[in-house]
């Protein structure tokens, strides 16, 4: 087919040199777009490599402070913390989540004392604390109870806010929990503590290595399909986001990332609010496996996947590749 505008219009002109490609880039990725998820372990001077996530470890609280300093030096603005609660402290009611001296709270305090300029995002859900591995309280049939769980999550959020958390991130997918947490934070004087709601969290096969990292995989009874979202559904995600925003969420998250780019785009276009994605453990593991097998270049795969999440509409991305990406962006 004849193109009347050719050769007056050659789209390759602006791609012909590196400076021009940079000048015409529509999407920009910087270290400030990254949140680094980290796993906290008991002990001192501890690093525990996670076999299903090559290059990722659990760190004791003292070592976590080193990671915070590394983030600051790399320009990464925020850390997301997840505890590997010791076995003897995991109970059916997840009571350790409410302990002001638990692993999560000690890590928050240590980081905020040593590196206050780095933000700390904390996970609100009971799965790192329950003997059964679910995000909430269960009945005799193993069904996760919404309202009793919500009440515990409120206390967990307050516990983390008192320790110094900057962003409370409820990942449990219980109905109504954002409103309850927002009201409690306001009532306790934590008006500036943000809520990043895991608004569209799918019941995904990509979470496996994370469950290894927090010690919940082998203990999980059944699955999480009664509270996490069906991967078949998109309109339901928009309803979830609308509810969380109405209840007081400052920002919303879509999880996982790459398999749900369409959801990110629809959320951004519908609500025009800050949207974050979690590039989850399975996504990380796939890139690492491809690189180890010689099937792709790690640096290229990481940067392209992060760029795709930003291009889809993300304000930022939670990624285990954050330090690598920040170093690459700093070159």
Helix (H, G, I), strand (E, B) or coil at 253: strand
Q: What parts of the chain have a pLDDT lower than 70?
A: 1-2, 331
Beta-carbon contacts of 149 under 8 Å, excluding residues fewer than 6 positions away, are 126, 135, 136, 137, 172, 174, 177
Helix (H, G, I), strand (E, B) or coil at 119: strand
For the chain, which residues make up each domain, given as ranges?
Answer: 28-329
pLDDT at 166: 98
Q: How confident is the model over 9-42, as pLDDT tens digits?
A: 999 999 999 999 999 999 999 999 999 999 999 9
pLDDT at 1: 60
288 near 298, Cβ under 8 Å?
A: yes
Treating both helix axes as pointing N-terminal to C-terminal, what angle do 298-312 and 261-271 enclose, rounded to 10 degrees?
30
pLDDT at 2: 67
Out of 201, 224, 268, 310, the active site residue is 201
Our answer to whether residue 255 is catalytic in this structure is yes
Out of 63, 224, 255, 268, the active site residue is 255
Query: 202 has which bridge partners?
Result: 229
Helix (H, G, I), strand (E, B) or coil at 202: strand
- Cα 320 from Cα 322, distance rounded (Å): 5
pLDDT at 208: 87
- Please give the model's pTM, rounded to 2 decimal places: 0.96
pLDDT at 331: 67
- Cα 286 from Cα 83, distance rounded (Å): 23
Q: How confident is the model over 148-185, as pLDDT tens digits?
A: 999 999 999 999 999 999 999 999 999 999 999 999 99
β pairing state of 47-49 and 57-60? antiparallel
Residue in this structure with the two tokens 């993300």, named with its chain if needed: 314
CATH of 28-329, one of 3.90.850.10, 3.30.60.50, 3.20.20.70, 3.40.800.10: 3.20.20.70
In whole angstroms, what separates CA 248 from the centre of its chain? 19
- Cα 216 from Cα 203, distance rounded (Å): 15
pLDDT at 306: 98
- Cα 134 from Cα 172, distance rounded (Å): 9
CA distances from 198 to 130, 156, 301 (A): 20, 16, 25
DSSP code, position 295: S
Q: Is 186 annotated as a binding residue?
A: no
CA dihedral over 281, 276, 34, 66, signed as positive or negative? negative
- Cα 150 from Cα 263, distance rounded (Å): 26
């Amino acid at each position: 087919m004849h193109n009347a505008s050719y050769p007056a219009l050659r789209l390759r002109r602006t791609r012909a040199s590196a400076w021009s490609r940079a000048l015409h880039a529509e999407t920009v990725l910087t270290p400030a777009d990254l949140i680094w998820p980290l796993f906290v372990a008991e002990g001192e001077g501890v690093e525990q490599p996670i076999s299903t996530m090559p290059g990722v470890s659990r760190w004791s609280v003292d070592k976590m402070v080193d990671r915070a300093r590394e983030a600051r030096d790399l320009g990464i603005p925020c850390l997301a913390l997840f505890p590997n609660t010791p076995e003897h402290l995991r109970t059916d009611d997840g009571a350790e989540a409410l302990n002001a001296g638990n692993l999560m709270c000690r890590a928050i305090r240590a980081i905020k004392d040593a590196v206050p300029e780095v933000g700390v995002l904390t996970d609100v859900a009971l799965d790192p604390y329950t003997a059964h591995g679910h995000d909430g309280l269960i009945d005799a049939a193993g069904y996760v109870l919404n309202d009793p769980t919500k009440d515990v999550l409120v206390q967990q959020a307050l516990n983390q806010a008192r320790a110094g958390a900057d962003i409370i991130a409820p990942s449990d997918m219980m109905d109504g929990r954002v409103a309850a947490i927002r009201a409690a934070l306001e009532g306790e004087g934590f008006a500036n503590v943000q809520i990043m709601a895991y608004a569209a969290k799918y019941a995904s096969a990509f979470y496996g290595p994370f469950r290894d990292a927090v010690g919940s995989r082998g203990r999980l009874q059944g699955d999480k399909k009664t509270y996490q979202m069906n991967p078949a559904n998109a309109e339901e995600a928009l309803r979830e986001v609308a509810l969380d925003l109405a209840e007081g969420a400052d920002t919303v998250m879509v999880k996982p990332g790459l398999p749900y780019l369409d959801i990110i785009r629809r959320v951004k276009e519908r609500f025009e609010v800050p949207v974050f994605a979690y590039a989850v453990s399975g996504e990380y593991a796939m890139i690492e496996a491809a690189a180890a097998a010689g099937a792709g270049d790690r640096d290229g795969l990481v940067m392209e996947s992060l760029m795709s999440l930003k291009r889809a509409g993300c304000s930022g991305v939670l990624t285990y590749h954050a330090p690598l990406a920040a170093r690459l962006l700093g070159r």
